[in-house]
A and B are shown apart, each in its own frame.
Chain A
Amino acid sequence: MKALCWQGKTKLEVEQVNDPVILNPRDGIVRITRTAICGSDLHLYDGYIPSMEPGDILGHEFMGEVVETGSEVKRIKKGDRVVIPFTIACGQCYFCKHELWSACDNTNPNAWMAEKLYGYSGSGLFGYSHMLGGYAGGQAQFARVPFIDVGALKIENGMPDEQVLFLSDIFPTGYMAAENCDLKPGDVVAIWGCGPVGQFTIRSAFLLGAERVIAIDRFHERLTMARDAGADIINYAETGDLVEELKWMTGGRGPDACIDAVGLEAHGNSIAAMYDYAKQRIKMSFDRPTVLRQAIQACRKGGVVSIPGVYGGMLDKIPFGAAFGKGLIFKMGQTQMHKYTERLLKHIQQGDIDPSFVITHRFPLDKAPEAYRIFRDKQDECIKVVLDPWQEAKAA
């Protein structure tokens, strides 16, 4: 089959590899019909996530048709149309039983590596470094899905792929980020980053009853999309002090909740942002926590800082005194996917939201290396890329 392989920093190749086979009794094999590039894939592309190896197959947002099931698979049948959550969960351990699916104990074959770095290991993920499982990803024509009975979300009523594909990661991720804010009527939410996850966070915050959402970015097309959802917008590149601006916009209180939908590759126009950039360049840090700092500083007393953006290592110059002094609540982590997929599918079926609004670019899999570059550099007003693994690339 064809698969997109990581060959080093900013070096991707579409290669011919073996088809996946059933390795464990609870595995299933999916013929992928649509897959997407996630913002967190860009951290791999730019080489900020440790324990990637050349040859690793990327991709963790995918859906398709089940073509093969292992001997212990009961719920899912050959021929089912399924969306696959990006976290892999066994469904049996303490964490799975307590809806902490992304903390599953039993799905990371390389748990010892994550334990060395983080103390304990979370669940395995598709196509996201060896430390987090080393599973082959879904930017390919087929994928092997471990514990397919536990994770796969069946799509039964012929809804188009593009409407349900984002249940594999970014819609639940944005939704959990908003839910973590414990929103009450009248709450004001500030969201840093209007990329795909940010867009879903904005809409989820409104679904969950936020009075007002303030969206922050620097790209015109992303801010326009945020405004279409009903958010007030700030272009931080044209604003002086962002924290002061937010204070001004909220009657001096500050936002009730601040959401960092950016993560470790933040941009900014402050001295602190330049410092982060320099430190990352000389490999003294994996992360640029520019946004997180602003979110902590801007949040109202007793408010919530919710972090769907990905961080990898040690963060520097975090204003923890401010967090303590204001009594902030922090919520973060890989999305508890399995908790949300059914609930959000209902929202889509009821017509509360059509997730395909976020798609701006469609490519065949062969063009994936180019698509990564366009998405990373935000060329051509790119917000979200969807790949078709079976479409033949047109001759240039």
Chain B
Amino acid sequence: MTITTNLAPKNGETEFSRRPATSNLETALTLMAGAGLSIFGFVRRGWLGAVTGSGGAYLLYCGIADLRRPFQGSVRVGFTINKSPQEVYEFVREIENWSKNLRAMSFKQEHGGLAIRFGDGEGAALTSRVEVTDEKPADYIAWASDARIIEHRGVVHFKKAPGDRGTELSVAMEYKAPTGPISRSLARMAGLDPEQLVREGLRHIKQLMEAGEAPTTAGQPVGARGVKGTAERVAFREHPVVEPQPQRLAGD
């Protein structure tokens, strides 16, 4: 059985896997920064020199390696959900359920496809148009995006788990974005790491299907945070996953 996940021929483009990973601009920037740091390190010498020198050498390596790398990355994530494959399939197939639960992404049905917007509403955002390329109810859904900035494709599988444990819901996808090591780190810091996005998305589907709600602490009382605490809060990415809906103060 072959599952189709290629939209490129339909759009008159090249194969999904043949395009270079990074844009020319970022490759140039990476190589320049790498060369600059390496030279600084060589001239400076000492401990600081060694550190900046090796950082520069790493960037040079990344820049060269990214020149013709066919794929940026892949994600494989699975969760077991205590519901039947048919129930999980129906929940996942309903795009509304994704819109509500994937952080930093929004979805819109468009003629024959689905527009995904990455970014949480303010500032920079990327859009990507997705089509379901192949599907078998309660078994799998395959998708591919068009060849715009972020290109991705993959398969969602619904497999009956052994021992009456429900369904193994898994996503295997590959993606390509015009990013080198610098943008990759920036994206990760902004919470746009594809692996994290997919994993937490699936986790929330599991939580909603099993427990009826996604656990949260957003909106609970807290004492004075201080500078360190605020910084850690950002690092721990404690954004509300579901918007808190305060009802009223206890004891009123």
Contact = CB atoms under 8 A, between A and B. Distances in A.
A20 B206 contact: no
A238 to B, nearest CB: 43
A53 B80 contact: no
A74 B215 CA distance: 18
B18 interface: no
B111 interface: no
B210 A106 contact: yes
Interface in A68-85: 68, 70, 72
A302 interface: no
A110 B203 CA distance: 11
Contacts of A3: 221, 223
B210 A93 contact: yes
Q: Do most interface residues of chain B lie in helix, strand or loop, or is the interface mixed?
A: loop
B207 interface: yes
Contact of B215 (A21, A55, A107): A107
Contacts of A106: 206-207, 210-211, 215
B61 to A, nearest CB: 26
Contact of A90 (B210, B220, B251): B210
Contacts of B203: 111
Contacts of A23: 216-220, 244-246
A278 interface: no
B200 A21 contact: no
B220 A20 contact: yes
B141 to A, nearest CB: 23
A19 interface: yes
B10 interface: no
Given A51-B236, A106-B211, A130-B238, A19 B220 contact: no
Contacts, number: 150
Nearest to A15: B223
Contacts of B200: 112
A124 B214 CA distance: 12
A93 B80 CA distance: 10
A5 B215 contact: no
A31 B251 contact: yes
Nearest to A12: B223
B218, B221, B224, most chain A CB atoms within 10 A = B221
Contact of B222 (A21, A22, A57): A57
Interface string A53-64: 111110000000
Given A17-B223, A56-B223, A57-B223, A25 B216 contact: no
Interface stretch (A131-139, A158-166, A365-373): A131-139
A306 interface: no
A67 B250 contact: yes
Interface stretch (A142-150, A191-199, A219-227, A381-389): A142-150
A133 B211 CA distance: 16
A54 B229 contact: yes
Contact of A92 (B80, B211, B233, B247): B211
A3 B222 CA distance: 9
Contacts of B225: 53-55
**Which 9 A-B residue pairs are closest in the complex by CB-CB distance?**
A5-B223, A90-B211, A55-B223, A29-B250, A54-B229, A17-B221, A106-B211, A21-B246, A15-B223
Given A56-B223, A67-B251, A92-B212, 11 more contacts: A5-B222, A19-B250, A21-B246, A31-B251, A57-B221, A91-B211, A106-B206, A109-B216, A109-B238, A112-B200, A130-B238
30 contacts: A3-B221, A5-B222, A5-B224, A15-B224, A21-B250, A25-B212, A25-B213, A29-B250, A29-B251, A53-B228, A53-B232, A54-B228, A54-B229, A55-B223, A68-B251, A91-B211, A92-B210, A92-B211, A92-B212, A93-B82, A93-B210, A94-B82, A112-B196, A124-B215, A130-B238, A134-B217, A136-B217, A136-B221, A146-B215, A147-B211
